[in-house]
Structure 1
Amino acid sequence: MPLQRFTRMYGIKDAKISALLTDPAASTPTYGPAIDVPGIKTFEITGEIEVKTLRGDNQKLASMSALTNVQVAITHAKMSLDVLTAIIGGAVTDAGTTPAQTSTWDLKGATATFPAFKLEGVTPPNGIDLIGGDVHVVMHKLTCSAFPDLGFAEEDFRIASFTADADPLISNDKWLSVVINETAVAIGA
């Protein structure tokens, strides 16, 4: 018997970003190594639809809708230099020795490349109707659509966030995938 095609979804356990390396027209896309989005809090998907209405004879005759954009908004508890590099570019340099080590992310005009990336999020096991199962949401090809929220907050934690717009893959036309697993699997498995 096939799995039921509906479920409750509770929480988010993990999210990872992978650089989109290739998207060939007649083959499978390739991705770089997965980078953890530390302290993932929210993974919210929205879409935009353009509606055209045909009117005549002083009345509505027809309407057509077209998907014009899919966007994701992410919040995460910990700032990550690797995530910043993956979503807007730049470079991370590690230097020094203990106890004076540094890790520096530099964004320069030439390195602010806004590369394409994949984003995958997953519920905790048992965060769905199926005991021991999970749900994965995969955004196959994203580009950052606004500069990430960074900085500090007086007497409080600063939550990092970013938004990205989806494009369909050239290789298979996928924008996003939602996968219900009977048995929980790790991201990328």
Structure 2
Amino acid sequence: MPISRVTKLYSVQDAKIAPLTSDPSGGPAVYGTSIDVPGIQEMTISGEIEVKQLRGDNTKLATNSAITNIEVAVTHAKLSLDVLVAILGGAVTDSGTGSTEVSTWDLTSSNATLPPFKLEGVTPPNGVDIVGGDLHWVLHKLTLSAFPDLGFANEDYRVVSFTASADPLIANGKWLSAVMNETAAAIV
């Protein structure tokens, strides 16, 4: 018997980004190594639908709707230079040794590529109605839709956030997946 298709959603425990490296027609999409989104706080998925109505004879004759956009907004507690590279482009350079070690992320006119990426978030175990289960939201092909919120906050923590728009994969047409597991599974 299949598991229930109805559940509560409680919290978000983990999220990872993976660079999309290949999206061939008819072939499987290929992703790079997953990168942790540190201190994930919120992942909000929304969409836009365009509605067309056909009118004639002084009445509505038909309605047709189409999804025109799916967008995700992500807020996380800690800055990750590797996440910035995966969603915005740029490059990280490590230098120095011992107490003089430095990691520098540089965004230049030639490396600000806005690369496509996958985002997957998951509830904690028991964050769904299935005891010991979880739910994963997967957005298969995203591109930033606005520059990330970065910087500092006076006498407070500064959280990081970004928004991205989804496109369907060329490989299989997938935009968004909700995967409910009877047994909680880590993001790969």
TM-score, with length taken from structure 2: 0.99
**2:90 maps to which residue?**
90
Deviates more, 1:39-48 or 1:95-104: 95-104
The structural deviation recorded for 1:56 is: 1.4
The answer for unaligned runs of 5 or more in structure 1 is: none
**1:26 maps to which residue?**
26
Where 1:108 maps in the other structure, the secondary structure is: coil
Task: Provide the rounded CA distance (Å) in 2 between the counterparts of 1:26 and 1:52.
Answer: 31
Task: Provide the rounded CA distance (Å) in 2 between the counterparts of 1:186 and 1:63.
Answer: 42
The structural deviation recorded for 1:137 is: 0.6
The structural deviation recorded for 1:82 is: 0.5
Task: Provide the rounded CA distance (Å) in 1 between the counterparts of 2:58 and 2:158.
Answer: 55
**2:161 maps to which residue?**
161
The structural deviation recorded for 1:100 is: 1.5
Matching of residues 6-85 of structure 1 within 5 Å: 6-85=6-85
**2:185 maps to which residue?**
185
**2:5 maps to which residue?**
5
**1:131 maps to which residue?**
131
Where 1:99 maps in the other structure, the secondary structure is: helix
Structure 1 ranges of 4+ moved more than 2 A: none
Deviates more, 1:52-61 or 1:120-129: 52-61
Task: Provide the rounded CA distance (Å) in 2 between the counterparts of 1:32 and 1:45.
Answer: 23
**1:113 maps to which residue?**
113
The structural deviation recorded for 1:29 is: 0.7
Task: Provide the rounded CA distance (Å) in 1 between the counterparts of 2:94 and 2:35.
Answer: 17
Note the alpha carbon deviations across 1:60-98, whole angstroms, 9 max, x for none. Answer: 221110000000000000011000000010000111112
Task: Provide the rounded CA distance (Å) in 2 between the counterparts of 1:150 and 1:40.
Answer: 15
Supply the RMSD in Å over aligned alpha carbons: 0.6
**2:171 maps to which residue?**
171
The structural deviation recorded for 1:18 is: 0.3
The residue type paired with residue 122 of structure 1 is V
Task: Provide the rounded CA distance (Å) in 2 between the counterparts of 1:4 and 1:126.
Answer: 14
The answer for unaligned runs of 5 or more in structure 2 is: none
The structural deviation recorded for 1:59 is: 1.9
Task: Provide the rounded CA distance (Å) in 2 between the counterparts of 1:47 and 1:26.
Answer: 26
Task: Provide the rounded CA distance (Å) in 2 between the counterparts of 1:22 and 1:133.
Answer: 31
The structural deviation recorded for 1:154 is: 0.5
Note the alpha carbon deviations across 1:36-77, whole angstroms, 9 max, x for none. Answer: 000000010000000001111222221110000000000000
TM-score, with length taken from structure 1: 0.98
Aligned residues: 188
